[in-house]
Amino acid sequence: MEWGWGKTLFKGDKYLWIIIIVLIVASVMLVYSSSSRLAYDKQHGDLTYYILRHSFFLVLSIVVLVVTCKIEPMRFAQFSIVGLIVGVATVWAVLFIGKDINGSSRWISIGAFSFQPSEIAKVALVVFVAKVLALHTKNPKEAFWPIIIASALVCFPILIENLSTALLIGTTIFLMMIIGCVPTRYILGIVTSVVLVGVVLLYLPGQFQPKRFETWKGRIERFMNEDEEGVQSKGKNYQALQAELAVANGGVFGVGPGKSYAKNFLPMAFSDFIYSIILEEYGWVGGFVAVALYFFILYRAMVISRRCEKAFQAYLVLGLSILIVLQAIINMSVGVGIIPVTGQTLPLLSMGGTSNVLMSFALGIILSISAYNPGRKAKSSVVSSETSRIEQQRVSRDVEFGDDDE
């Protein structure tokens, strides 16, 4: 769907563009508010240090969006193998040359530039899985092993340093296989295998466990072992406690933009706990709006997928939207204390260079697919009059990567 004055620049679903613009504008306000105190302390009083850095990546993200939404969707299928190879190579490379930040090696540095390979790998894997599912629409069980092998190559090295990201990727692929009608016994096999691996890791000797296993275990134990004897007996993670105080302080309507108290104590207020800042400054009303925006992305993706003429495009739209929304749910759940601290950012709202650029790339793909599959309402009267003839031709031609069998 091309729309209004921006039809030559902004291609794709106009409602999705509106959501993206709202998120980007809100991100500037939220990151400036949540990072100003840290900038004052760490950057010699320069309150604009973090917001300028964040704004640079937001501009880059917009460029990526605009460029990506103009690419013909099947190009992503053609380069899916290349993308997967790059993703797998970089997540394995981080184990050997990764930069250690906050006790974990998740970044690769090239000069002054650092990036998270897991962000590249998770988008590349979704594109690859969409292609495999589309190639096997008539016999979905044949897609199982290619997907499992590719997922293992991506998730295993990520799991060593970043459990939450590995689970996010694994859950997304799991849901894509359900959508792709992979047989139930195969799906149950995955669930059983994951449970068994978890049990084995729990009872392995310490020297054979991932180096961050004790960190994961400690976070879960502190989260589960709560009582009413005070903060010290709870053993709560310091950030989680400050986040809860922020949520309680916000109430229904919040304390107002820029007036957060918790930002003075939350070290990662501008990224991992930005939803807590939203709830403190804008209250539960603002928090509900944020949740609604992400679920509206999922809704628009479902609408777009129904218009797709090719199975690959439908699977890809759903897979990428699930990835984005799941990440948002994880971040927001941490912010309100539903799950233990994970380290996932809130897409397009949190400060995060690699994450925002790759999430923008994913959204750009969805916009591209929506532009090339506008649906009946967007067609001209001339085209609409020829719908029957086009449908007949479509039945007789070979549709790349599988037709939807309805």
Average pLDDT value over all residues in the chain: 82
> How far apart are alpha carbons 228 and 246 in whole angstroms?
19
Residue recorded with tokens 């590719």: 150
Whether the model clears a pTM of 0.95, i.e. scores above it, the answer is no
Query: What pLDDT, in 10s, does the model give residues 124-166?
Result: 999 999 999 999 999 999 999 999 999 999 998 888 878 889 9
Task: Say what the pLDDT of residue 5 is.
Answer: 47
Query: What pLDDT, in 10s, does the model give residues 332-342?
Result: 998 888 888 78
**Lowest-confidence pick of 166-180, 190-204, 332-346, 356-370:** 190-204
**Token pair recorded at residue 140:** 């979905």
Task: Say what the pLDDT of residue 204 is.
Answer: 64
pLDDT at 231 over 50: no
Structural contact between residues 359 and 60, judged by C-beta atoms closer than 8 angstroms: no
Task: Say what the pLDDT of residue 358 is.
Answer: 94
Task: Say what the pLDDT of residue 406 is.
Answer: 35
Helices (H) and strands (E) in the chain, counts: 16, 3
Name the pairing type of β-strands 99-101 and 104-110.
Answer: antiparallel
pLDDT at 321 over 60: yes
Task: Say what the pLDDT of residue 45 is.
Answer: 74
> How far apart are alpha carbons 134 and 27 in whole angstroms?
36
pLDDT at 385 over 90: no
pLDDT at 369 over 70: yes
> How far apart are alpha carbons 90 and 308 in whole angstroms?
32
Place 373 in a pLDDT band, splitting at 50, 70 and 90. Answer: confident
| Cβ-based neighbour number of residue 212 at 10 Å | 17
Query: Which has the higher per-residue pLDDT, 337 or 319?
Result: 319
Structural contact between residues 34 and 54, judged by C-beta atoms closer than 8 angstroms: no
Amino acid occupying residue 332: M
pLDDT at 119 over 50: yes
Amino acid occupying residue 390: I
